[in-house]
Structure 1
């Protein structure tokens, strides 16, 4: 994964996917904190990862939302290109090994703060981070992601990371729970 500013060092003949670009992941996480967080803050890496999982895997989200609230209306999002960036099975469920690099990138640019709170970390938008997230949310290119994150917030925003982890293991045991550690989660 490289920053946009470093992509010039890549040979032009190599294909480039958004998944390979640091700022793609940074923008998604800024929006996640802004939309799914409480006052621009998410309490815990586990909660952040699980909310991000439901954002990145719309089919899993719809199944989980239906299990928790059968009356909920499904979103009309196009699921044909559902998973835009894969995650792997980790000790606590879905995880992306790039989180540490992306969070460090955001913190170095003073767009977020990361602070220890009890046995967890609070990841919060800074004032500048909140402004950038609001600007991203208004861009048409992020409209689908923003709508999906609003649905995720409505369904699971008040649940803890542990509750979300347990829900994922309960509902998606074959797809996530029984998958070997480090293996990519597919649907």
Structure 2
């Protein structure tokens, strides 16, 4: 994964995927904290990863919402780019190996703070991070992502990371639970 600032010497003829760009992931996590967090804060890496999973995999989100809220209507998400950035099976369910790099990137730029509280980490937007997240949220290019995150927050924002991990393993045992560690989660 590379930063946009380091791509200046890259031949323009080579294809470039958003998934390969550090800032793409940083923007998504800033928005996740802004939209899905409580006062711009998410308590725990597990919760952050699971909320991010449901944002990135809308079909899994719809299935989980239907299982937890049987009367809920499915959101009409644009599925043309339903999984624009994949995750892998990790010890605690869906995970992105880039999280540590992206969180360090955001923390180094003073857009977030990461604090250890007991056995968990709180990831919170700084004042500048909140301003950047608000500016990103106004961009039309993030409208679909924001819509998904709002739906995820409404259904699962008040749940713990452990609850979400357990739910994912219960509902998606074949797709996630039985997948070998490190293997990409597909639909």
Give the RMSD, CA atoms, in angstroms.
0.7
Q: Distance in 2 between matches of 1:81 and 1:138?
A: 20
CA shift, 1:7, in A, is 1.0
Where 1:14 maps in the other structure, the secondary structure is coil
Report 1:88-127 matches (<5 A). 88-127=88-127
- 1:137 has 2:128 as partner: no
The yes-or-no answer on 1:72 pairing with 2:67 is no
Q: Which runs of 5+ in 1 are unaligned?
A: none
Runs (4 or more) in structure 1 with deviation over 6 Å come to: none
Q: Distance in 2 between matches of 1:78 and 1:137?
A: 17
CA drift at 1:74:
1.2
Shift of 1:12: 2.2
Matched, 1:81 2:109: no
Cα deviation code 1:76-119 (max 9, x no counterpart): 11223210000000000000000000000000000000000000
Range moving further from structure 2, 137-146 or 71-80: 71-80
Counterparts in 2 of 1:168-183, with a 5 A limit? 168-183=168-183
Query: Does residue 27 of structure 2 align to residue 22 of structure 1?
Result: no
Q: With the length of structure 2 as denominator, give the TM-score of the two structures.
A: 0.98
Unaligned runs of 5+ in 2: none
Distance in 2 of aligned mates of 1:64 and 1:157: 13
The CA distance in 1 between the partners of 2:80 and 2:145, in whole Å, is 15
TM-score (normalizing by structure 1): 0.98
